[in-house]
Amino acid sequence: METLVSVQVGNSITDPITVNSGLRQGNFLSSILFKVVLEKVIREMKIELHEDTRLQDTLISLLGYADDIVLMEGFQDMLKILFSRLYKAASKVGLYVNEERMEYMFLSRWGLPFCQFIKIDHYEFKYLGTILTEKIM
C-alpha cells in the first residue's frame, strides 16, 4: 500500500511525498517493535539492584509500562547514574528522553525532604491512574 504525506512548513504545504519505509502510527507492529527496542535499552543499562530499593520483597530499580519508564533509587547520586545509563543506551538506538514530559519526584521513608538543595517541581503525580504523593512512604 502506497502512503503519501504532505508536510506543513509555516503556512505552506508541500506536494505529496511517497513514504517507502517505517510503520504507520497505530500499526500493531509499532508497539511490538518499540518493546523489543526498549528491552535492548534496559539490558544495555546493566542495572545493579541495591538493598534500599525495594517494592515489598523485590529489589527493583526500573519499572516500565508502554512508553513510560520509572527509575527508582535510594540515593540521588545512584539515580543520576541510572538516568545517565538510560539516556546513553536509548540514544544508541535512536530513542530520546522527552524533557518536556519528563517528571521527577524524590521521596523519603522518614517523611523528610530527600535533599534540601534540590528543587522539586511536583509533589503529586497521576501515574497509570493512581495518584502518587510524597506521603505514600
What are the backbone angles phi and psi of residue 22, rounded to the nearest 5°? Answer: 95, 175
Residue 79 contacts residue 87 (beta carbons within 8 Å): no
**How confident is the chain (137 residues) per 10-residue block, as mean pLDDT?**
83 89 75 86 81 71 79 80 89 86 66 42 58 56
pTM equals: 0.60
Please state the domain extents for the chain: 27-99, 103-137
Query: What pLDDT does residue 135 have?
Result: 57
Output the CA–CA distances (angstroms, integers) from residue 67 to 32, 37, 96, 117, in the order listed.
12, 11, 11, 30
Query: What pLDDT does residue 13 have?
Result: 92
63-67 long-range contacts (CB < 8 A, ≥24 apart) are 64/38, 65/128, 66/31, 67/34, 67/38
Query: What pLDDT does residue 33 have?
Result: 85
Query: What pLDDT does residue 105 have?
Result: 66
B/e letters for 91-111, b = 16+ CB within 10 Å, e = fewer, are eeeebeeeeeeeeebebeeee
